[in-house]
């Protein structure tokens, strides 16, 4: 089920241009912007413009947005110069995973060697 923008959702506010963000990619379905608290030299958030709280809230008939996001992540990584050296894509789902903004978002991280396990 498609969700309308949520008034108190910070990412919905960024999509609506009611809050500033350094946007690095935008189309009719997806928005990507640099994280304000980067955890790596490159740290970009990639979100659908439709509001879904988490992966658990995306209905199967809307799952194609996930493929679109991953393909855009690959493009953004290349544009930022980390496509060949390597990058990590992180998706947190629900509180115990560390999700603190409840609008599904993917973290694109790179520009340094990543450690494993992450945490």
Catalytic residues: 105
Strand order in the sheet with 30-34: 23-26, 30-34, 42-48, 106-110, 87-91
Q: How far are the Cα atoms of 46, 61, 76, 93 from residue 26, in angstroms, in the given order?
A: 9, 22, 11, 23
């Amino acid at each position: 089920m498609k969700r309308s923008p949520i008034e108190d959702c910070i990412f919905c506010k960024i999509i609506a241009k009611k809050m500033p963000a350094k946007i690095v990619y935008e189309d009719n379905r997806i928005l990507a912007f640099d994280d304000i608290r980067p955890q790596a030299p490159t740290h970009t958030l990639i979100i659908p413009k439709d509001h879904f709280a988490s992966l658990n809230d995306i209905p199967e008939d809307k799952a194609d947005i996930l493929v679109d996001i991953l393909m855009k992540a690959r493009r953004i990584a290349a544009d930022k110069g980390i496509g060949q050296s390597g990058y990590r894509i992180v998706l947190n789902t629900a509180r115990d995973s560390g999700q603190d903004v409840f609008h599904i978002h993917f973290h694109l991280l790179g520009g340094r060697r990543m450690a494993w396990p992450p945490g």
